[in-house]
Chains A and B, each alone.
Chain A
Amino acid sequence: MSDTAASDDGEDEPAVDAEEVRHVADLARVRLADDEVDEFAAQFGDILEYFEALDEVPETEREEELVNVMRPDEIEAGLSQEEALANAEETEDGFFVGPKVS
């Protein structure tokens, strides 16, 4: 529970604090600005509280009609190397250039 956004009128505090938002943003590889972190913390509290209603859902048998869809493993026409690279910001010798790994 957060102690950063306690309200005066005794309402429930948001279920998510800024630190938690930063942690999830880190996991999701999305950098956030500080004001975005605060805004999301407040909104996530409301939204997750609303999702709590899922606790009332009875366990239901999940019968999916699932079938495997297979096709012969044959070479088919695909994108050319040129096409595959066409949208990349940076390429070199027919490869994508990514940021350094560490």
Chain B
Amino acid sequence: MAADLNAFVTEERIEGADDADGPLADATVAVKDNISTEGIRTTCGSEMLADYVPPYSATVVDRLTEAGATVVGKTNMDEFGMGTTTETSAFGPTRNPVDTDRVPGGSSGGSAAAVAAGEADVALGSDTGGSVRCPAAFCGVVGIKPTYGLVSRYGLIAYANSLEQIGPIAGTVEEAAAALDVIAGDDPNDGTTRDLADVEGADPDASYAAAADGDVEGMTIGVPAELFEGADERVVETVEAAIDDLEARGAETTEISLPSVEHAVQAYYVIAMAEASSNLARFDGVRYGNRAESDGNWNESFAETREEGFGAEVKRRILLGTYALSAGYHDKYYEKAQDARAWVRQDFEDAFDDVDVIASPTMPVLPFELGESLDDPLRMYLADANTTPVNLANLPAVSVPAGEADGLPVGLQLVGPKFGEETIVRAASAVEGR
């Protein structure tokens, strides 16, 4: 079955530490192929890195194996994390285990498919604009995007540094939270991680897994109309039913407004593409990665290497990012996107003065059919409307299965304040307990 889904790019094992007491003893973990594994090729779903073998492992991988988990393979993904369907991989698309004519979502589609198909207990994804939550929603599993700075990005092959976080995907909220317990925490190799002892209001000894107790009595849930507008009716009905159930379990819901999110997708793509154009400049075929046969000079050889090595979506984003940063357009696109980002952050902060979590559909649509969105990049970008605001604001969020519509999974997204992982885990566990 796994071969049919194409969930893995490379199936090689890294055995966990021989410690029967480790919190993840006997657990199997699938790792997205943009997270470095020493001695095991790490391709980013790209021809460019098809033969790249990292000389070191990412901090998160070391933490998982130290906790007893066994890595079972590297999962398929949209090339360099750029996509919402896992169809832009140089190694072919992954299929959704729920319906193999449909996409698993992206860009961590291989990770979500591996968990949904029972090929791994837990998987790691990376979430730049929704890439953990989207495939979790489409495959009917749980995905957590942590607060920016909670989880080390050391060894994650960067696409848009200011937005992305590594996050766990699992079959249940408690399992995902247990994996987060293992990977979270300050890392001297990543200056953007935070020591929770220095964060006001955060509990450095928090156990996210223990927070999955289903107790939402007295919790206040904000429901923003903006994140329901334009969504598929079947998605809205399923998500509303799940929110009603939370109310029945003692939570209080209140309508809120987040006017800034209407501009979040644009801001997200401008910032992500700008950062991508800079980050991906390192792929010149000299120090690592495939190099084109070329008789030309440095610049010509560089351009030919990148023509051969990158797929269409990656080229599209590098070019648009270069455009948005170029003289004459910098103020129009990039500066405005930064304003929008600040506005989104402010909007969420204001909302969290009144509510504990914010609920919405994770994806405004049901899983796409394979091939459906490939020729229309803008349509694919719009599908990220509900997930991207969270990355712009650096907040934590979880996607938890809310039910099914026409036999397809629908995800409920719960967003929390900075380092409010325990609250979103608690609320999500109540959703799955209904």
Contact = CB atoms under 8 A, between A and B. Distances in A.
The answer on A and B forming one complex is: yes
A29 B339 contact: no
A38 to B, nearest CB: 13
A50 B266 contact: yes
Contacts of B339: 54, 57-60, 62
B204 to A, nearest CB: 18
A89 B316 contact: no
Nearest to B260: A57
Contact of A79 (B55, B332, B340): B55
B269 interface: yes
Interface in A53-83: 53-63, 69, 71, 79, 83
A89 B285 contact: yes
B378 A46 contact: yes
Contacts of B52: 87
Given A29-B302, A30-B303, A30-B306, A24 B326 contact: yes
Contacts, number: 143
A7 to B, nearest CB: 17
Q: Chain A interface: which size bin? A: 35 or more
Interface stretch (B70-78, B132-140, B210-218, B289-297): B289-297
Given A29-B306, A61-B342, A69-B191, A44 B320 contact: yes
B346 interface: yes
Interface of B is mostly: helix
Given A30-B319, A88-B288, A62 B307 contact: no
Nearest to B286: A98
| Range for the number of chain B residues in contact with chain A | 35 or more
B304 to A, nearest CB: 6
A30 B315 contact: yes
A56 to B, nearest CB: 7
Interface string A1-42: 000000000000000000001001111111111001000100
A54 B342 contact: no
Interface of B: 51-53, 55-56, 188, 191-192, 262-263, 266-267, 269-270, 277, 281, 284-291, 294, 296-304, 306-307, 310, 312, 315-316, 318-324, 326, 332-333, 336-340, 342-343, 346, 377-378, 381
